[in-house]
Structure 1
Amino acid sequence: MIERDVSAPDGRVLHVYDSGYATPEGTVYWQHGAGMCGLPPAPLVDRADELGLRVLGHDRPGYGGSSARPGRSVADGASDLVTVLDQLGVESATTIGLSAGAMHALGAVARHPSRFTAAAVLGGPAPFGAAGLDWFAGMAEPNRAEFEAALLGRDALAAHLASDAAVDLSMFAPEDLQAMHGPYWDWQLDAAGTASPEGSIEDELACLADWGFSLNDIAVPVLVLHGAGDTFVPAGHAAWVAEAIPAAVLRLEHGGHISTIPRVEDALVWLRAQGDSGRVRVR
């Protein structure tokens, strides 16, 4: 991957990843999960190359090489995506969001549908307080405790993250425990190794706050992929999101939050089939 820094209009730095392929089939913008940097998985980049797709990504504020932006909303993240497209000369793209990156992918297509023409989301949450959804139902206790700390505010969440050093394996679905090997798992370990608490704090607070847009207003195609046994973000979230978006397709897969990550390659194929997007702007 080519790595570079670009400047946001307010002077913040955004650290960008670029596969460097100015290919005929378009551009896919990768949006990473919480607790990891924005480096796209190598198998995803390889599959994109086979499909004629360029892959972009960046560290969200507070992660890796990107400046923090305390108090940012999910909608605020969409403006950073547009900044990257503008500075790299890309007219439009599709986007894939993983876990916390899913809500940011939805923000991109909601706020900038002319720049982001389709989205695929994997393992993403529904807005907190979504009508008719028991937001915590089916969520493993360690994950629920973290969100409950976030509901008490930034300081409580920071203290919770600082005190929660040991990994509690009870938070993982059985399929996730079996998937802790191979190239996608190795990528997760690498991406998590460069993350900082600040990015996770900003993501979790943004998740629980008003996202700054309505899912009902999304008019472009959206693929909602989710593990039926997900214990981080229960599958009820995916069903709610798919129902709220007029042009959404829901696919529940066997597995949990970790074990379904390789399905991002299926998302690439689906996005490519959505038509002409991500062309390089002629200057």
Structure 2
Amino acid sequence: MNALRSASCLLLRDRDDVPPFLDTERDEMLSVARDLFENPETVTLSDGRTLGYGETGDPDGDPVLAFHGIPSGRLGAAVFDRIGRERGIRIVAPERPGVGVSDPDPDREMTDWPRDVAEVLDALGIDAAPVVGISGGGPYALACGATAPERFPRAAVCCSFGPSDSAGMATRGLLLGARYAPTVVRSFLRAEVLSSRYAPGWTLERRVAAAAPGDEGVWRSEVGKLLIASVPAACHRHGTATFVRDLQLFAGDWGFALEAIDVPVGVWHGRADRITPVEMGLGVMDAVSTAEGHFYPDRGHLSTFVEYEDEMFEWLAE
């Protein structure tokens, strides 16, 4: 416990240091991520809160909003920089309250997010844009399509969390733990932040060991390094409480009916996913009448969005 407390104090002292892998690697994707870390964009919302975001891809292209997973933030947009530039897409990646440079909003509900993001669109002079949610960003993409279809006319979800009753025992245990034992889950996430910050190589190897076979190579690539770096970057100012709140919201009433969504919804999911099991993607398919499914037998959590990003962004542009 004393070691964890000492590490936490150290994390606070160097929280503005460049995250691991971004300070030494010269890969293009990681260079983009470093720029996102060092130069965050912000919008001041109508209630006075600051909301952070990052942009990648083609700055003059058609906008697509990208919602990050857990625990991640704007740095994840670096994954889509290549496809954005190639396809003429402007990737705008807002950070949820309490992530990165965004001010916390501890009592937020899932349906508050579309209003926040609509203000980002207003600030950028964008009338409407499709959305894509990766993993823990998926439910927020669905919330946008459900509650503000005129601003978010198309929603893609990739390896997304789904309705809690579609989760397996391990995932359901995590969701219920966030709801009924939040301190335990917060401590677990805090340990992940410290591990990613101070033992990134070891943390990466742990990810490889736990990954689906189709994900092992992706974890060892620049994508894996980016995802490790994004953990301390997402939590360096406000800690992990917001991600516990995400899980609590996923476990409860989402505040909107999936059955009421009438914008086109694309569902991408690997059947070998060990983080968000395929049953979650199938749960979204069962509930959303407009859903179009893309399921891959041997793909896992990372390999699905890395290998099929071209297909996903082509669908968003329809």
Common fold, TM-score beyond 0.5? yes
Contact 2:176/2:251 (<8 A) preserved: no
Matched, 1:257 2:301: yes
Q: Give the counterpart of 2:313 among 249, 263, 268.
A: 268
- How far residue 160 of structure 1 moved from its aligned partner, in angstroms, is 4.1
- Distance of aligned partners of 1:219 and 1:188 in 2 relative to their CA distance in 1, 3 Å threshold: same
Q: Distance in 2 between matches of 1:245 and 1:106?
A: 10
Q: Give the counterpart of 2:85 among 24, 43, 49.
A: 49
Could you say which residue in structure 1 is the equivalent of 2:231? 192
Could you say which residue in structure 2 is the equivalent of 1:157? 185
Matched, 1:203 2:240: no
Q: When the two structures are superposed, what TM-score results if normalisation uses the length of structure 2?
A: 0.76
Q: Which runs of 5+ in 2 are unaligned?
A: 1-35, 196-202
Q: Distance in 1 between matches of 2:111 and 2:234?
A: 22
Q: How many residues align?
A: 263
Q: Distance in 1 between matches of 2:310 and 2:232?
A: 23
- How far residue 124 of structure 1 moved from its aligned partner, in angstroms, is 0.7
Q: Give the counterpart of 2:213 among 170, 174, 183.
A: 174
Q: Distance in 2 between matches of 1:82 and 1:265?
A: 26
Q: How does 1:1-283 map to 2 (within 5 A)?
A: 3-19=40-56, 21-23=59-61, 26-129=62-165, 133=166, 135-137=167-169, 141=170, 145-162=173-190, 171-196=210-235, 197-253=240-296, 254-262=298-306, 263-272=308-317, 274=318
Q: Which secondary structure does the structure 2 equivalent of 1:249 belong to?
A: strand
Q: Which secondary structure does the structure 1 equivalent of 2:75 belong to?
A: coil
Q: Distance in 1 between matches of 2:87 and 2:217?
A: 29
Shifted more, 148-157 versus 7-16: the winner is 148-157
- How far residue 145 of structure 1 moved from its aligned partner, in angstroms, is 4.7
Q: Which secondary structure does the structure 1 equivalent of 2:98 belong to?
A: coil
Contact 1:34/1:199 (<8 A) preserved: no
Q: When the two structures are superposed, what TM-score results if normalisation uses the length of structure 1?
A: 0.85
Shifted more, 69-78 versus 149-158: the winner is 149-158
Deviation string, structure 1 residues 156-213 (Cα, Å, up to 9, x no partner): 4324434677766564322223321223223212222312212311211121121111
Contact 1:41/1:187 (<8 A) preserved: no
Q: Which runs of 5+ in 1 are unaligned?
A: 275-283
Q: Distance in 1 between matches of 2:90 and 2:129?
A: 9
Could you say which residue in structure 2 is the equivalent of 1:279? none
Contact 1:5/1:16 (<8 A) preserved: yes
Deviation string, structure 1 residues 77-116 (Cα, Å, up to 9, x no partner): 1111111001111000011100000111101111110001
Q: Distance in 1 between matches of 2:292 and 2:276?
A: 18
- Quote the RMSD (CA, aligned, Å): 2.2
- How far residue 126 of structure 1 moved from its aligned partner, in angstroms, is 1.4
- How far residue 43 of structure 1 moved from its aligned partner, in angstroms, is 4.3
Contact 2:156/2:316 (<8 A) preserved: yes
Percent identical residues: 27
Could you say which residue in structure 2 is the equivalent of 1:281? none
Deviation string, structure 1 residues 116-155 (Cα, Å, up to 9, x no partner): 11111101111223xxx3x225xxx4x5553342131433
Q: Which secondary structure does the structure 2 equivalent of 1:193 belong to?
A: helix
Shifted more, 41-50 versus 88-97: the winner is 41-50
Q: Distance in 2 between matches of 1:160 and 1:55?
A: 31
- Distance of aligned partners of 1:199 and 1:211 in 2 relative to their CA distance in 1, 3 Å threshold: same
Q: Which structure ranks higher in relative contact order (CA pairs < 8 Å, sequence separation ≥ 6)?
A: 1
Q: Which secondary structure does the structure 2 equivalent of 1:39 belong to?
A: helix
